[in-house]
Amino acid sequence: MSTYFTSDIHGCYKEFKLLLEKSSFNCKKDYLWVAGDLVSRGPDSLKVLRYLYSLSLNNRVQIVLGNHDLNLIAVHAGVKNNKKENFFDELLSSYDSDELINWLRHQNLLKVDQNRKIIMSHAGISPQWDISTAKTYALKIKEFLSHNSYSLFLESMYNNKVVFWDVNLNGLDKLRYSMNAFTRMRYCYPNGRLNMFYKQSPNLVKYPLQPWFFMKHNIPKDYSVFFGHWSNLKGIYIPEPFVSLDSGCCWGEEIILFRWEDKKIFSQKFLS
């Protein structure tokens, strides 16, 4: 039995399945953790969701939601408009779209394995949080997304202005900040405030902006923190305990798989 980690599949089903074959992933005895952005940009989001959903029926997969997964849920709910670059048409018109998206919106934004000291989220963990705070607000968001009125919740979530954590924030703004931190975070200012606009490689961005993983954190050093979301970190030093999983498959680069037990990394280049 092995545990594998990947992220940002982005509908690149062909490359994803080849990667699983390379690693000898066994869907009957191994486990797969996916750090979000299962869909969008690639051509086969429907196939990716169907495959991961099938793994979930036997408890063989753990996923967290990324910004593109939330966008799919919002498009399906009529909260956001579908755009050509999403490649959602096949998925949204499929006979099982409601079932798949209902499954997706019942997923979390954070996974924590306390026994093995593993944390996974899509964009990362806010430098202003400890594990307990992260777990609390991930669970609150999951509860809202799982509720029948989830579309009303999503309508109020898209906000670039709530970028600093403060215990005195109102309840809605705490959720807005949490959504930004879990699914969209890249850079922070020295005081911990998020910058929601810069996406370039850290080689091209100067102080005072810093990658969130360079900030002082409250995460114990014996944890490993897996994240995706940021495809242009190749060649960038990433300090322990953080592990980047997004290698830009949907941009013509590659998709990677990290095996927990021996720390081996498998990769598959983009093919089409």
pLDDT above 90 as % of the chain? 98
> pLDDT per residue over 47-100, tens digit each?
999 999 999 999 999 999 999 999 999 999 999 999 999 999 999 999 999 999
**170 vs 162: CA distance, rounded Å:** 11
Give the residue numbers spanning the domain of 224: 3-269
Considering its fold, how many domains does the chain have in total?
A: 1
> pLDDT per residue over 230-246, tens digit each?
999 989 999 999 999 99
Residue 255 has pLDDT above 80, yes or no: yes
Whether this model's pTM surpasses 0.85? yes
Q: What is the pLDDT of residue 51?
A: 98
Task: Please report, for the domain that includes residue 85, its CATH number.
Answer: 3.60.21.10
Provide the pLDDT confidence category of residue 221 given band limits of 50, 70 and 90: confident
Across the beta sheet with 254-259, the strand order is 61-63, 31-34, 3-6, 254-259, 264-269
CB of 271 closer than 8 Å to CB of 14: yes
